[in-house]
Chain A
Amino acid sequence: MIEIVRQKAGELLNQGKIKGFIAPSRENGHVAPRLFTRVEELSTLNLGDSSSEGDARYPLDKILITLHRKYPDDCFGILVRGCDQRGLYTLYRLNQLNPDRVIEVGIACSPGLAKACECLKPFPDDAVAGDPVAPEGQKAVEMVEDMDMAGRFEFWMDQFSKCVKCYGCRDICPMCFCNECSLECKDLVSKGDLPVDIPVFHLVRAMHMADRCIDCGLCEEACPSDIPLRTLYKKTGRIMDEEFGFTSGINKHEKSPLSIMGPAPDKKGP
């Protein structure tokens, strides 16, 4: 699989179609995100795998935003899994990236990784490598939904109370690009105090993720307190699907129902 990606990225660089290719790179025993600008550099290309598949994934979409903001006229290539592409589609929708300046090179995730992520779309459209596998069930969400309300409340308050307010969930998130963040609004979240305001802090973020979260899971992986953030955002995503038939980043050109002024649109989902 990696050879196909290397070859594809090399072609794009050779043909001058892209200024650089964003993908992980294995160097000095570590996996790091990198901008490959020359074909010779591609020997260190990595798919975000260190000791197991997908255990060293980084917010490549976020790096693309940084580059696009400074070089809006240049075109970049980027390695995408299903979630990364959902992220790109969402960032196109939110006018943070220009699809004409991005060339996606997609890989499908293995059944094992898809299962571990309980992924709704473990493959990008037009994958160049890997066999697309079917979406997975949402066991983590269902486990919480099976609790009664009091139990569910207790579960989440218990989880939120572990928060050390590092803001890592926001900082790693490829969908968090706002210049002004509600989590730094003094009316919602007190500044310089611990423990963090619960459940406000986590619910504000969950609300903002409702039509954005692309379920890449980087927040949960970055959380030093092991709060099951992914389950929380999966749940908000599920509410969006149930209420509006909308899932962030699944369809390239779909507008978010939350951005429509006026009465709620007709339900499209099942």
Chain B
Amino acid sequence: MDYQNILTTCTYCGCGCNFFLEVLDGELTGTIPCKTSPVNEGKLCIKGWNVHEFVQSDKRLKRPMIRKNGNLEEVSWDEALDYTAARLKTVKAEKGSDAVGFFASAKVTCEENYLMQKFARAAVGTNSVDHCARL
């Protein structure tokens, strides 16, 4: 029997609410908001309350996929990255930089988002950068 409460930070938005993920024998069983966190003081929104459900969801994408002949197929990271790089180059060459847009994410770190906008502006040459919370 192994029951633990793991302190972590919500990945849904930039607020940074803290909660404990309840883990019983390696399986997530619940979310408990952290009362001693100065950010959320024991409160959460509906998304935060249900984090333990998405983590173990069968619907999560675990491997890169490319749509081939109308069907999504699992491919290696190398193939996915090569394909994406080639398509970005082609679109930029044929239609211009502003034909490409970037969606940043609340589920990654500030540094990763910084790199993304840097790539968008400096490498691709567009300021079309938006955020997943507006989807």
The residues of A with any CB-CB pair to B shorter than 8 Å are: 19-20, 28-35, 37, 50, 55-59, 63, 66-67, 70-71, 74, 164-168, 171-172, 221-224
Contact = CB atoms under 8 A, between A and B. Distances in A.
A162 to B, nearest CB: 13
A56 B5 CA distance: 15
B3 interface: yes
Nearest to B30: A66
A58 B42 CA distance: 10
Interface in B1-18: 1, 3-5, 7, 18
B22 A63 contact: yes
Given A20-B3, A66-B30, A224 B44 contact: yes
Given A66-B29, A168-B33, A32 B3 contact: no
Contacts of B7: 28, 30, 32
A84 to B, nearest CB: 15
B33 A222 contact: yes
B60 to A, nearest CB: 21
A35 B3 contact: yes
Contacts of A31: 35-36
Interface residues of B, number: 25
Contacts of B4: 34-35
A56 B42 CA distance: 9
Among B4, B34, B35: residue with most chain A CB under 10 A: B35
Contacts of B110: none
Contacts of B34: 30, 32
Nearest to B6: A32
B42 A74 contact: no
B43 A58 contact: no
Given A20-B3, A167-B46, A168-B44, A30 B37 contact: yes
Nearest to B27: A70
Given A28-B7, A171-B49, A19 B1 contact: yes
Contacts of A165: 46
Contacts of B33: 168, 172, 222
Nearest to B34: A30
A66 B37 contact: no
Interface string B83-124: 000000000000000000000000000000000000000000
B35 A58 contact: yes
